[in-house]
């Protein structure tokens, strides 16, 4: 049985349809990439799945249970964690404390939460940042802290929202190592939104493409990259008309 089963999910903001009739499933142990041009509805889809936005219609089944009507914190407690694209930290909590907040979902003990937070930070190779304030860190480190925080809650499925956006190639490499560790070693199913194609195409088992709120492709990275609909979405109709033969 699939770990995550989304059926006919539609999300409207007034007259705008951010997600239209989207259906897909994620199997246990998969690493699924979610791509699409800006404004395609990727983050909205994450927000709908994780319960931050109420869904207009459709259903979400996670780990065999219907979570469509559940609140965000209830969904999180069932083992669905996520990161956020823009991380706003007031500077009150340092890195370790941030990760501890995630750990507190599974334990009430401060000592246990602290030990677990240290362990996670070490595993993601950012143990040396423990005492830094999140707001004072470079973007790359901030993104890795958000991943660590989400991991603290010991999820079954982790949704990563643009963890590599705005990073340089070295930093992307490091993030890639982290993602592989989370997926391969910790055995967590991962779904990631990404614009950095090098990363998505490299790590994903499967790639899904959204455009204007619709799912336009779903398959192994190689096939998706050649899909005319996908190329059209990214490069425009004219490009496909003019270079159609080369692409085929």
**Interface residue list for another protein (CB under 8 A):** 50-52, 71-73, 76-77, 81-82, 84, 87-90, 92-93, 97-98, 100-102, 104-105, 107-111, 113, 149-150, 152-153
- Could you tell me the smallest distance in angstroms from the CB atom of residue 44 to another protein? 13
Question: Which lies closer to another protein via its Cβ, residue 132 or residue 186?
Answer: 132
Question: Which lies closer to another protein via its Cβ, residue 165 or residue 225?
Answer: 165
Question: Which lies closer to another protein via its Cβ, residue 71 or residue 243?
Answer: 71
Question: Which lies closer to another protein via its Cβ, residue 112 or residue 232?
Answer: 112
Distance CA 121, CA 174 (A): 14
- Looking up tokens 């509805």 gives 41
Closest residue by Cα to residue 57 from 82, 23, 94:
23
Closest residue by Cα to residue 33 from 246, 207, 213:
207
- Could you tell me the smallest distance in angstroms from the CB atom of residue 115 to another protein? 13
At 96, give phi and psi (nearest 5°): -60, -40
Bridge partners of 32?
191, 206
- Could you tell me the smallest distance in angstroms from the CB atom of residue 112 to another protein? 9
Distance CA 230, CA 234 (A): 6
- Could you tell me the smallest distance in angstroms from the CB atom of residue 208 to another protein? 21
Question: Which lies closer to another protein via its Cβ, residue 145 or residue 209?
Answer: 145
**Taking phi first (over 0 means left), then psi (-120 to 50 degrees means alpha), and beta for anything else, what does residue 133 get?**
beta
- Could you tell me the smallest distance in angstroms from the CB atom of residue 192 to another protein? 15
Distance CA 81, CA 76 (A): 6
């Amino acid at each position: 049985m699939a770990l995550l089963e989304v059926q006919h999910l539609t999300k409207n903001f007034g007259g705008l349809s951010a997600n239209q009739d989207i259906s897909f499933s994620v199997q246990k142990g998969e690493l699924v990439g979610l791509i699409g041009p800006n404004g395609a509805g990727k983050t909205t889809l994450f927000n709908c799945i994780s319960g931050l936005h109420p869904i207009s219609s459709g259903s979400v089944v996670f780990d065999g249970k219907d979570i469509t009507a559940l609140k965000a914190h209830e969904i999180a407690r069932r083992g669905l964690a996520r990161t956020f694209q823009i991380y706003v930290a007031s500077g009150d909590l340092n890195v370790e404390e941030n990760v501890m907040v995630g750990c507190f979902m599974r334990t009430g003990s401060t000592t246990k939460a602290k030990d677990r937070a240290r362990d996670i930070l070490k595993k993601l190779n950012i143990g040396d940042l423990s005492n830094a304030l999140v707001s004072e860190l470079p973007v790359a480190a901030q993104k890795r802290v958000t991943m660590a925080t989400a991991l603290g809650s010991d999820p079954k499925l982790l949704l990563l929202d643009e963890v590599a956006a705005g990073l340089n190639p070295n930093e992307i490499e490091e993030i890639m190592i982290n993602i592989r560790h989370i997926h391969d070693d910790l055995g967590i199913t991962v779904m990631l939104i990404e614009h950095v194609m090098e990363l998505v195409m490299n790590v994903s088992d499967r790639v899904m493409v959204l455009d204007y709120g619709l799912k336009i492709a779903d398959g192994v990275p190689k096939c998706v990259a050649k899909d005319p609909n996908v190329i059209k979405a990214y490069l425009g109709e004219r490009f496909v008309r003019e270079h159609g033969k080369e692409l085929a």
